[in-house]
Amino acid sequence: MKAPYSFTFYTASWYRRSPYWQRTVEAGCTSWDLYNHMLIPTLYDDDEREYWHLVEHVGLWDVAVERQVEITGPDAARFTQLLTCRDLSRCDVLQCKYAPIIAPNGGIVNDPILLRLGEDHFWLSLADSDAMLYALGVQAFAGMDVTIREPDVSPLQVQGPRSRDVIRSLFGDAVAGLRYYRCWGGDLDGIPVVVSRTGWTGEIGYEIYLRDGSRGIELWDRVMRAGEPFEIRAIAPSDQRRLEAGIFNYGNDMTIEDTPFHVTGMERLVELDADFIGKEALERVASRGVDRKLVGVELGGEPFRMWLEDFWDVRRDGEVVGRLVSASHSFRLQQNIGYVWVPIALAEPGTDLEVLSPDGPVAAITAPLPFLDPHKDVPKG
């Protein structure tokens, strides 16, 4: 399976650069993606080498593209609750939530990590859509007293089995010991940061949210220095690792056309005790059920490379019934894995399918998510 089509890309002033840009170039980054109107590293030297470094040591990702929507003001808690189907009455200060943002018709606007930094202080750490515009639209007639803005915040992810050592060396035991989906605010010798125990890998991992873009190089260098004993290196986000973990890529795997009930593993995120926009629409979906579903799939054929260049049709009994939206090769499972949209009747694990790759048909079978359970030992490659 060949790598995706590539071409020469010219940078331009309309693509914002991260505060770490210069360091990613120096660290050997060779290709970037566009995400939230910014450049994000997508390949340094080799996706397989980067994958193994992530799962065996520790990797540093420039994810400044995770832009924050900051909501503050007397009505911040009530307003933020309007935006997401998670029940925020059960969200403590310094707690995080995987918090899908829901449109009036139940569609997914974005699937950020929500950070509650204070009683009246929230961040939505965005996937790739301009969800701040959604919040501003809601503000127009919600009649609530809130301030909505994009603060000067640029996250790094420190992910992998040695990430805890790196964070301990930088911030001490308490921060290194953060429970999953908890966060801490403070500074690193005067560099203002928030640190959360979250990430896009299923590995042990942390995010460091830099709160002053002018100090990006300084922070990057501090993290690299602290990580040296643990073999830290700059890598790109790993499509393989996030697929193993059953993590989604908004705008690709699911869009505003889909509700959380359409996506395996997101159903549990709809907490109907809360009052939020789109709740009635989701109640209707819940009672009627969905007609199609995003599910895991294992695929035959040669090892896939990198990521899909385009969606592939999915056939059952010779008829096109859905599409493959993500797929790559799990180097640990030694198996091609991905996500397919299928009619609900074909959503059960173990359903035989055929996907139409540009090189011909490939056998496929639906599978439970995640492919790798983070709470169990994983096979060594």
- Least distance from a second copy to the Cβ atom of residue 381, Å: 24
- Least distance from a second copy to the Cβ atom of residue 16, Å: 9
Stretch that binds a second copy, among 51-59, 86-94, 219-227, 251-259 (CB under 8 A): 251-259
Stretch that binds a second copy, among 24-32, 161-169, 282-290, 350-358 (CB under 8 A): 24-32
Out of 2, 3, 26, 379, name the contact with a second copy by CB under 8 A. 3
Residues 342-381 binding a second copy (CB under 8 A) are none
- Least distance from a second copy to the Cβ atom of residue 243, Å: 13
Q: How many residues bind a second copy (CB under 8 A)?
A: 56
Q: Taking CB under 8 A as the rule, does residue 310 contact a second copy?
A: yes
Q: Taking CB under 8 A as the rule, does residue 247 contact a second copy?
A: no
Instruction: Please say whether the beta carbons of 297 and 369 come within 8 A.
Output: no
Residues 30-59 binding a second copy (CB under 8 A) are 30-34, 37, 42-43
Sort residue 299 into left (φ over 0), alpha (ψ -120 to 50) or beta: beta
Q: Taking CB under 8 A as the rule, does residue 287 contact a second copy?
A: no
Question: One-letter amino acid identity for 228?
Answer: E
**In which residue are the tokens 């602290």 written?**
226
* Residue 221: closest CA among 235, 207, 209, 234: 234
Let me know the angle formed at the C-alpha of 318 by 244 and 292, rounded to the nearest 5 degrees.
50
* Residue 347: closest CA among 312, 284, 283, 296: 296
If 0-12 CB within 10 Å is exposed, 13-18 middle and 19+ buried, where does residue 320 land? Answer: exposed
Q: Taking CB under 8 A as the rule, does residue 17 contact a second copy?
A: yes
Q: Taking CB under 8 A as the rule, does residue 84 contact a second copy?
A: no
Residues 131-150 binding a second copy (CB under 8 A) are 131-143
Question: According to the 3-state scheme, what is the secondary structure of 319-362?
Answer: EEEEEEEEEEEECCCCEEEEEEEEEHHHCCCCCEEEEEECCEEE
Q: Taking CB under 8 A as the rule, does residue 277 contact a second copy?
A: yes
Residues that bind a second copy (CB under 8 A): 3-15, 17, 30-34, 37, 42-43, 82, 103-105, 109, 128-143, 249, 251-252, 256, 277, 306-311, 325-326
